[in-house]
Structure 1
Amino acid sequence: MPLLLASEFHYTQRGIAVFALVGAAGALSAPLAGRLADSGHGRLGSAVSLMLILASFALSALGAAAHNVVLLALAGVALDFGVQANNVFGQRAIYALAPELRARLNGAYMAAFFLGGAAGSAMASPLLLRGGWPLVAIVGAVLPALALTYFGINELRRRHRV
């Protein structure tokens, strides 16, 4: 997003920093997600957060195409909201497991989370150069769509076993 804001919207570093602060509003999802997870709605919350992440990339593509920074800001908030919530649901699922496994699983989970974020950041610049923001948004949307598909398949399997 910073590259898009600098090149297409002519934002300065200060403007990009202010834009990033708006996106940080998504952190408000953590307590809400925690309450939902604690009340037994972790699976539903995970699915909804993945859908929100997917929708945020669609909204960002629309915002870029319309040259509308408000839509881009809403997409940023939605993306952060979905990612934060999904992280809370994932960690809640780990902490529901056997105590002797929690530390190792949480370490692996957080390592995968940060490696995924780093990989996404590394891919974004070449994608932006090659296909503009639409390509970034498509690739960004494909990943949560794959996760949502995997989640849905596992939910179907789980329901058929019960």
Structure 2
Amino acid sequence: MNPPLDISQNKPLLWLMAIACGLCAGANYYCQPLIHSIQQYFNVPESQVALTVTFAQVSYALGLLFIVPVGDIVNKTKFIPVLMFFAAIGLLLCAFAVNLPMLWVGTIIAGLFSVAAQVLIPLATMAVKPEKTGEVVGFLMSGLLVGLLLSTSLAGLLSNLFNWKLIYAVSAVLMLIIAFLLKSKLPHVPIMKMSYAKIFQSMGHLLKQEPRLLYRALVGGFAFAAMSILFSTIAVLLTSEPFNLPDVLVGVATLIGVFGALSTTKIGKIADRGHTKALTWIGITILAISWGFLYFGGQSLISYVIGYGIINFGLATVHSSNQNIIFRLRPDAKSRINSIYMTIYFIGGACGSALGIYAWHHGGWAMTCVAGLCLVIGSAFFALLDMLYHSKVQTA
């Protein structure tokens, strides 16, 4: 029997969905603390291994663009477990990779299909009362972000205790188990009758009809790019002088971000009460402050950890505010709206990762921090445009 359509009170299902979101998010980030170990294992240049992070995010962005919109026109109850199954296949390829190209192929497959989380979230917003949207999305985002952060810690721990490949194998098995459990528990929601080709035509119309969607996507994209600079540089910074940390401690250093991730449910509740503008500017301010701590973190591990925790909280605040706004724009097109938003969001992440590598190799940690702050300024610029547009619409 399927659960009732209002799932806000169905805590076991929400927890299962949150775990699924966490597993899907983690699938793209295991490589971050493992770059040094992978480089030694395959005996290739570190810069090539660092590209694994970018491949993960680019493939995820492609999945967001070409796979997530399908959620509006198919049975999500079947679609989500199928996506998770193929993501597990990608993780298994990574676990048994015999060379770096094979790891890249597995990473790309896992990235493409782990977008299951971004089909789950719109489904949840369609199965709750409107006034509960922010709270439920925040809860699922907590699961996603905690999964992302724990993935790096567990990857480092298992790498130190056993082998860097073990995290991929364990994650693949867990992904298959959760997919099986979800198949019989997910709620059925309305399906639109539309061809695959028309999905993209309608997405173009959405961008024209809903300027706030584009503005908010760019706010999120620049904010996530600022955070993603750390994804491609954390391992090379903390495993070199003056820190010389092993993989396991690189992962542990990121655990401070869990506090920011756990805040998304509370942030969602505040956003539900109409405080999205204030939350956006608070989040952007926190992002800017974090780069001050991160700059001094080039020589102080304590400062780096504080900065990492603050930047996670700032990003969670901005992202939760954005999602609260966009999911209210067009209730009949939530998967497509999420696809547009998250595609731009993760393109920003991929660009941030690539920019982090470039800045590191051309100006060291100081240049990396300058790049991060510039991206925060970009996020603030589009937040200002969104605020001006929204004020104009309200006074019209």
With normalisation by structure 1, the TM-score equals: 0.90
- 5+ residue gaps, structure 2, are 1-233
Q: Name the counterpart of 1:31.
A: 265
Distance in 1 between residues matched to 2:286 and 2:363, nearest whole Å: 24
Distance in 2 between residues matched to 1:25 and 1:2, nearest whole Å: 21
Equivalent position to 2:317, from 85, 92, 95: 85
Matched, 1:71 2:71: no
Matched, 1:144 2:373: no
**1:76 offset after TM fit, Å?**
0.4
Q: Deviations along 1:92-146, whole A, 9 cap, x unmatched?
A: 1011112123221111111222221122112212211211111111111111112
User: Where in structure 2 are the equivalents of 1:2-151 lying within 5 Å?
Assistant: 2-8=235-241, 9-64=243-298, 67-151=299-383
Contact 2:360 2:367 (8 Å CA) reproduced = yes
What percentage of aligned pairs have identical amino acids? 26
Distance in 1 between residues matched to 2:334 and 2:292, nearest whole Å: 35
Higher-Rg structure is 2
| Structure with more of its chain in helix, by fraction | 1
Contact 2:295 2:369 (8 Å CA) reproduced = yes
Distance in 1 between residues matched to 2:350 and 2:375, nearest whole Å: 14
**1:150 offset after TM fit, Å?**
2.8
Aligned length: 160
Judge which range, 94-103 or 137-146, deviates more.
Answer: 94-103
**1:153 offset after TM fit, Å?**
4.2
Deviating 4+ runs (over 6 angstroms): none
Distance in 1 between residues matched to 2:344 and 2:392, nearest whole Å: 29
**1:157 offset after TM fit, Å?**
5.2
Contact 2:276 2:321 (8 Å CA) reproduced = yes
RMSD between aligned residues? 1.7
